């Protein structure tokens, strides 16, 4: 099923906001990312067709802006601010410990597909660093104990969402 078939109402609502359809590219990319977890090549082609532009233009936007993902991410995207003010409060060391605990490097996803860690610039809570954002929810004044508690809670949440099996 195409993006337009899946999210026709949302797409039409965004197209109606702009006098030129091409201006709706970014909101439509968000819809695709929300729908698929990342922006697929097929979604980029479909969005280009919807707004009457070349797919290269759409790919350029996806490649330029860091908030768009052209590769699959974990179910839980952990973004750690490592900008200078946060780094001065230990964010870089915290990020290294987080990655070590999860067995991955920044930008990688755990083998179970649950967690992706990214170092980002400025989440806007420098005075409460280390600060992380997990799927757009903020956690401030983090340490490894609070991080480990959070990871356990997210794993429990994930397990609770799994379909029941009679096996």
Give the range of the structural domain holding residue 82, as residue numbers without chain letter. Answer: 76-161
106 plus 59 within the same structural domain: no
Residues 59 and 81 in one domain: no
Statement to judge: residues 132 and 58 lie in one domain? no
pLDDT digits (tens, 9 = 90+) for 146-164: 999 999 999 999 998 866 5
d(CA 32, CA 58): 12
Q: What is the mean pLDDT of residues 135-147?
A: 94
- pLDDT for 27 beyond 70: yes
Does residue 156 sit in the same domain as residue 80?
yes
Same domain? For 81 and 26 the reply is no
Q: Is the pLDDT of residue 80 over 80?
A: yes
> What's the number of domains the chain is made of?
2
How much is the pLDDT for 148?
97
Q: Which two tokens stand for residue 7?
A: 């999210």
Say yes or no: 148 and 106 in one domain: yes
| Residues 26, 101 within the same domain | no
Burial category of 11 from C-beta neighbours within 10 Å (exposed 0-12, middle 13-18, buried 19 and up):
buried
The beta-strand segments (E) located in the chain are: 76-81, 115-120, 132-134, 137-139
Does 87 fall in a domain?
Answer: yes
- Looking at the domain assignment, is residue 167 inside a domain? no
Per-residue pLDDT reduced to its tens digit, 63-73: 998 789 888 88
Q: What angle, 0 to 180 degrees and rounded to 10, lies between the N-to-C axes of helices 41-50 and 3-17?
A: 40
Does residue 44 have a pLDDT over 50? yes
Do 91 and 23 lie in one domain? The reply is no
| Mean pLDDT, rounded, for 55-82 | 91
pLDDT at 30: 94
Q: What local confidence, expressed as pLDDT, does residue 164 receive?
A: 53
Q: Whole-number mean pLDDT of the chain?
A: 92
Does residue 166 register a pLDDT over 50?
no
Question: Is pLDDT at 165 greater than 70 in this prediction?
Answer: no
What band does 34 get if pLDDT is binned at 50, 70 and 90? confident
Statement to judge: residues 84 and 127 lie in one domain: yes
- Whether this prediction's pTM lies above 0.75 is answered by no
Residues 96 and 148 in one domain: yes
Q: 85 near 126, Cβ under 8 Å?
A: yes
């Amino acid at each position: 099923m195409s993006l337009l078939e899946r999210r026709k109402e949302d797409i039409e609502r965004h197209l109606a906001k702009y006098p030129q359809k091409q201006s709706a590219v970014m909101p439509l990319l968000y819809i695709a990312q929300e729908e698929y977890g990342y922006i697929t090549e097929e979604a980029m082609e479909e969005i280009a067709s919807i707004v009457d532009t070349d797919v290269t233009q759409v790919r350029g936007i996806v490649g330029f802006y860091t908030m768009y993902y052209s590769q699959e991410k974990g179910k839980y995207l952990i973004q750690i601010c490592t900008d200078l003010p946060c780094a001065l409060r230990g964010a870089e060391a915290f990020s290294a410990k987080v990655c070590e605990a999860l067995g991955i490097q920044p930008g990688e996803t755990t083998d179970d597909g649950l967690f992706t860690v990214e170092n980002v610039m400025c989440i806007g809570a420098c005075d409460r660093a280390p600060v992380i954002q997990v799927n757009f929810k903020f956690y401030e004044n983090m340490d490894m104990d609070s991080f480990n508690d959070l990871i356990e809670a997210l794993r429990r949440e994930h397990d609770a969402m799994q379909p029941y099996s009679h096996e």
